[in-house]
Amino acid sequence: MKKLFITTLISFILFSSKLYAIDTKAEQAIVMDFDTNEILFEKNSNIKTPPASMTKIMTVYAAFDRLKNTDLSIENECIVSAKAYKMGGSRTFLEIDDKVSIDELLKGIIIQSGNDASVALAECLAGTEDDFAKLMNVYAKKIGMINSNFLNSSGWPEDDHYSTVYDLALLSNAVIRDFPALYLYFSDKEFTYNGINQPNRNKLLSSVQGADGLKTGFTRASGWGIAATAKRDDRRITAVINGTNSSRSRLNEASNLINWAFSQTSQKLLVDENQIIVEVDVWLGNKPRVNLVSSKKIVSTLSFDQIQLIKSSLEYNRPIEAPISKGEVYGKLLIDINGKPNIEVELIAQESVGSINPISKVFAAMKYLIFGSSLDE
């Protein structure tokens, strides 16, 4: 038996379009493909910075989880405390001792970025904002946000309150994935409470095709930031930036990154599950050959440059000695894409192949050595 290495070049005929260089004025940025979880662009994406009001995405995540998995209803009411009422910054304009529904608090948090609404909801769900922050960190760990620590529900500046744009992208995608029905709150463009109407601070909802969330943020320490997402046809892109120098710059930088991702990258099916990859001779089997098929489906988000030249190679023994079991691994497909980690796909037998009887083995072995085939077709 010998191990065979076959190298091929997979080429795609495309119109002449090249991936242009992309950059951003934001201090930190990340662009992710929602379906494949691939990072399309990043800049200082794991630097810990104040998340400002993007913190509220986690506050909302915790509330959504309670609404989905407990008896809590959006009609349940919460009483506004003095602490919530006294919160500065962006507000929903709650009044002390107001009875406010979960529904109204969520709209106040998501649309108006109300710090008062964030504290009121936190106290309603956990008793105190400190205890709610502990719950936020439990969720963060579950989602995989290893560089985040939350001390409050609003994003009010505190020394040890931090996150990264990468972690916030994970959180944003988790909200969309885990709570698709409740996520619709993020696309509401205005909300009126206490006679005061406020527009959604996420201006991308009106300026970027397919935008339907998520949340802006600003503190002096962090600059202007936003966790944003848009869906066009069946594809969703998530972008998080922080550290721009104005609300206009935040809008422009986020728009540019999202539009770039849609126009200059695309999802490609590299190999389908159970796709026949190679037909291999069988040694001393009751069938002369067996198909090796892909064990899984591989979809990758690629730039047009990456698509044009994709290198692949096969590794397997030739011939494969019988008996062969259906579904067992007998080789692997290696896919090499510039700028991405190598992809390895196990190749499995499409069907079982039994051994021939001992008397036939001698003749089959001689036939294979002379003619290169173990049995007549």
Choose, from 53, 90, 153, 222, the residue flagged as catalytic.
Answer: 53
Choose, from 45, 81, 90, 113, the residue flagged as catalytic.
Answer: 113
Q: What is the DSSP letter of 89?
A: S
In whole angstroms, what is the distance from residue 115 CA to residue 157 CA?
12
In whole angstroms, what is the distance from residue 362 CA to residue 341 CA?
46
Q: What angle do CA 317, 321, 322 make, to 5 degrees?
A: 145
| 297 catalytically annotated | no
Among residues 202, 218, 195, which one has the least CA distance to residue 93?
Answer: 195
In whole angstroms, what is the distance from residue 252 CA to residue 204 CA?
9
In whole angstroms, what is the distance from residue 53 CA to residue 217 CA?
4
Residues with Cβ within 8 Å of residue 212, at least 6 apart in sequence: 183, 186, 187, 205, 229, 230, 231
Residues with Cβ within 8 Å of residue 127, at least 6 apart in sequence: none
| 101 catalytically annotated | no
Looking from the CA of 162 toward its CB, the CA atoms found within 13 Å total 10
Q: Are the C-beta atoms of 247 and 224 separated by less than 8 Å?
A: yes
List of E strands, 47-181: 77-79, 99-101
| 113 catalytically annotated | yes
List of E strands, the chain: 2-11, 28-33, 39-43, 77-79, 99-101, 190-193, 196-199, 211-219, 223-232, 235-244, 265-271, 276-283, 289-294, 298-303, 309-318, 320-321, 329-336, 343-349
Choose, from 43, 56, 203, 215, the residue flagged as catalytic.
Answer: 56
Output helix, strand, coil percentages for the chain, rounded to the nearest 5: 30, 35, 35
In whole angstroms, what is the distance from residue 219 CA to residue 354 CA?
69
Coil/strand/helix, residue 80: coil
Helices (H), 240-352: 247-264, 304-308
Catalytic amino acids? 53, 56, 113
